[in-house]
Amino acid sequence: DIVLTQSPALAVSLGQRATISCRASQSVSTSSYNLMHWYQQKPGQQPKLLIYDASNLASSIPARFSGSGSGTDFTLTINPVQADDIATYYCQQSRELPWTFGGGTKLELK
Amino acid sequence: EVQLQESGPGLVKPSQSLSLTCSVTGYSITSNYWGWIRKFPGNKMEWMGYISYSGSTSYNPSLKSRISITRDTSKNQFFLQLNSVTTEDTATYYCASESTTGVMDAWGQGASVTVSS
C-alpha cells in the first residue's frame, strides 16, 4: 500500500499562511495526473473535498485554498487562514488501490 | 446535488456482522462509483471498498474476505456488510461518491458503530 505521511499538527495565526505537507512512499503521479487529493474535516462533520488532482479547486471552495506538488511531495496552502479553517486536513491518493489516506494534520491557532 | 445518508445499528456484538445502508439522492448509483470509508478513534481513515456503476466491486485487501458491498438500484441504495467484527472495527463509517479517478467528492454524515458485548 502507498503510505502517506503528514505532520500531526500545525499552529498558525489568523491572517497568516498555512502550509500542510503530505509525502507519499512512492509516486502518485502518472504522465497525465497527480492523483493526490485533499479533504477538510471539522469535528462532528463529514470530510469535504477541497482539492483534487493535486491542484484543482473543488466546487464552492474559496480561492484561499490551493494545492501543489507532484511525484511524492504535495502541499496544501491556506492563505490567509480564517477562523473557519480550523479543522483537520487529510491527503488521499488514488494512484493505486487500495486508496489510502494520510494521518491528518490538525490546524490550530497560535 | 448528490446527497448520501448512512443508516444502521450503532452497536454490534463481537463476532457478529455489521450492516449499513447508504441512501443516495440526486444522482443514480448506476453512474459513478460508490464507496465506504471508516474513521477510527484517533483519526486514522481507511478506504474499505467501492461498488461501481455496473455492480463490480473492489475491496481493501486488509479486510480480506470479511467485506461485501452490494446495491439495490431500484431504491438507489448501496450496502456494507462486514463479518466477524471485533472491537477494532469500532469506527465512524462513511459512504461517499467516487469519481472515476478515485476522488471522493461527496460524503454522507457518517454512522458511528461500536463493537461491544
- Name the residue among B45, B99, B108 with its Cβ closest to that of A101: B45
Contacts of B1 in chain A (CB under 8 A): none
What ranges make up the beta strands (E) of chain B? 3-7, 11-12, 18-25, 33-39, 45-52, 57-59, 67-72, 77-82, 91-98, 104-107, 111-115
Work out whether the CA dihedral A94, A58, A24, B93 comes out positive or negative.
Answer: negative
Q: What is the largest CA-CA distance in chain B?
A: 40
- Mean pLDDT confidence for A14-33: 97
Q: Is the pLDDT of residue B35 over 90?
A: yes
Neighbours of B21 (CB within 10 A): 16
Grid cell 452497536 is found at B11
Average pLDDT, chain B: 97
**Grid cell locating A69:** 506538488
Task: State percent of chain B over pLDDT 70.
Answer: 100
A61 touches chain B (CB under 8 A): no
Chain B residues 2-61 with a CB less than 8 Å from chain A: 43-47, 58, 60-61
Contacts of B45 in chain A (CB under 8 A): 47, 90, 92, 101, 104
- Mean pLDDT confidence for B64-76: 96
CB A66 within 8 A of CB A74: no
- Mean pLDDT confidence for A70-99: 98
pLDDT in tens, B8-23: 999 999 999 999 999 9
Q: How far is B34 from B22, CA to CA, in rounded Å?
A: 9
